[in-house]
Amino acid sequence: MAKTYEEINEKIRQGKAVVLTAEEVAEMAKTASAKEIARKVDVVTTATFGAMCSSGAFLNFGHTTPGIRMETIELNGVRVCGGLAAVDTYVGATDCNPQNPTYGGGHIIEDLVAGKEITLEAWGKGTDDYPRRHVKTLITKDSINEAYLYNPRNAYQNYNVAVNSTGTTKYTYMGTLLPRLRNAAYSTAGELSPLINDPECRTIGLGTRIFLCGTVGYVAWNGTQFHSTKEVNAHGIPTSNARTLAVVGDLKEMSTDFLRGVYYEKYGVSLFVGLGVPIPILDEDLAQRVSIRNEQIETVISDYGDNYHILGKTNYAALRSGEIEVNGQKVRTAPVASLAKAREIADILKAWIQEGRFELSAPVRPMPTGTSVKPLEIRGFKDETGIQ
């Protein structure tokens, strides 16, 4: 017995929709069949809260009198994009001033969301229609025109586990990796993770309404490096980094509870993004998919000290037990993304739907299929790596 989006939305409007989080439905699946779940459950909420470097915000500052064509732009001393018309910019989460590497784009975005004042300084060459050559002023999210988050690559469908086999500590975006395999860092929310619960993106596509950093957002496109042909395990789950989402939402409505600028030692600035995706249980196949449990989700162990060399495979039940085995050695595990926060998001999204405040949208275009990720070849020039 299949359901339609409209039927589910009608139930949501009447406050009758049955909504569970992905962890709750995984628990239910221990005793209920996919058929029963499909009949009883309307929506399953999934979530993640982790560092997503490929994030950023579009801002429009408004025009001064006389006007300026901003060609070099700084926000709190951090250079941001000057290549968007006269008074638009894009603040990349990893933008930073090398003189002060611990504060950057991610922090500017957090400060904007928090309502703090930001120093805007910009320079232009002066044109006939925009004669001004310099401006310095204070802005807040309320003083400027649009401010929206547009993240080109979020919510990775699975991610590798990071270890370091070398003799020295490595500082990475997966955190501090201690020498000689003394820790293993993992970042995916396992059975709660969005793209794990709808691995082929049957219900997640362009226009899917989601939770983004405390407000309603949308899936805008397939994320960059969208890899839809990765090897899958017996449960249909890709065993490493695969699909991704590009998402968009109104920064002015967001909350710093679910968006944080961060700095990784010797790596740089990034942004913690909180994202929740509702999965409509349209049929038995989807009921089966959302029933996935941590032990059924596998991922590879990658040596960040040795060119991402794959050292083996593990699963999320093992990772959460606190210890895995790598090369015959027992290795302590720890997450580097927040499961506690992801659960909070899944619960909030669940409440929004139960209260009839959040309806589901069917994708206006499905995600692409048959895609893979190309490496960047060096050609036409001598390969000068500059590695020290």
Partner 1 sequence: MTQKIILTFPSEVSGDPIIYELIRTYDIKVNILKAEIQPGQIGTLLVELDAEEDKVEQAKAFFTSRGIATNPVSSRISYDESRCIHCGNCASACFAGALRITPPDWRLHFDPEKCIACKLCLKSCPLRLFSIEFSPLN
Residues 79, 73 contacting (CB under 8 angstroms): yes
Largest separation between any pair of C-alpha atoms in the chain: 73
Q: Which stretch binds partner 1 (CB under 8 A): 49-57, 147-155, 219-227, 308-316?
A: 49-57
Restricted to residues 274-313, the positions that interact with partner 1 (CB under 8 A) are none
Binding to partner 1 by residue 335, rule CB under 8 A?
A: yes
Site string for partner 1, 154-193 (x = CB under 8 A): -----------------x---xx-x---xx-x--------
Among 212, 213, 262, 292, binds partner 1 (CB under 8 A): 262
Burial 318-346 (b: 16+ CB within 10 A, else e): bbeeeebebeeeebebebbbbbebbbbbb
Q: Whole-number minimum distance, CB 169 to partner 1, in Å?
A: 8
Q: Which two tokens stand for residue 189?
A: 């929310």
Question: How does DSSP classify residue 31?
Answer: T
- Measured from the CB atom, is 49 or 130 closer to partner 1? 49
Distance CA 330, CA 328 (A): 7
Q: Whole-number minimum distance, CB 161 to partner 1, in Å?
A: 11
Among 46, 54, 338, 361, binds partner 1 (CB under 8 A): 338
- Measured from the CB atom, is 17 or 337 closer to partner 1? 337
Name which of 353, 336, 350, 358 is nearest 49 in CA terms. 336
Q: Whole-number minimum distance, CB 335 to partner 1, in Å?
A: 4
The conformational region for residue 83 under phi > 0 = left, psi -120 to 50 = alpha, else beta, is alpha
Among 37, 339, 346, 348, binds partner 1 (CB under 8 A): 339
Q: Whole-number minimum distance, CB 314 to partner 1, in Å?
A: 15
What is the three-class DSSP state of 290? helix
Residues 187, 337 contacting (CB under 8 angstroms): yes
Q: Whole-number minimum distance, CB 171 to partner 1, in Å?
A: 7
Identify the burial level of 223 via C-beta atoms within 10 angstroms of its C-beta, where 0-12 means exposed, 13-18 middle and 19 or more buried: buried
Q: Whole-number minimum distance, CB 322 to partner 1, in Å?
A: 8
Binding to partner 1 by residue 332, rule CB under 8 A?
A: yes
Q: How far is CA 190 from CA 198, 335, 388, in A?
A: 13, 11, 37
Q: Which two tokens stand for residue 281?
A: 């249980």
Restricted to residues 197-226, the positions that interact with partner 1 (CB under 8 A) are none
- Measured from the CB atom, is 49 or 211 closer to partner 1? 49
Question: How does DSSP classify residue 73?
Answer: E
Q: Whole-number minimum distance, CB 258 to partner 1, in Å?
A: 9
Q: What is the contact surface with partner 1 in residues (CB under 8 A)?
A: 49-51, 102, 171, 175-176, 178, 182-183, 185, 260, 262-265, 270, 272, 320, 322, 332, 334-341, 343
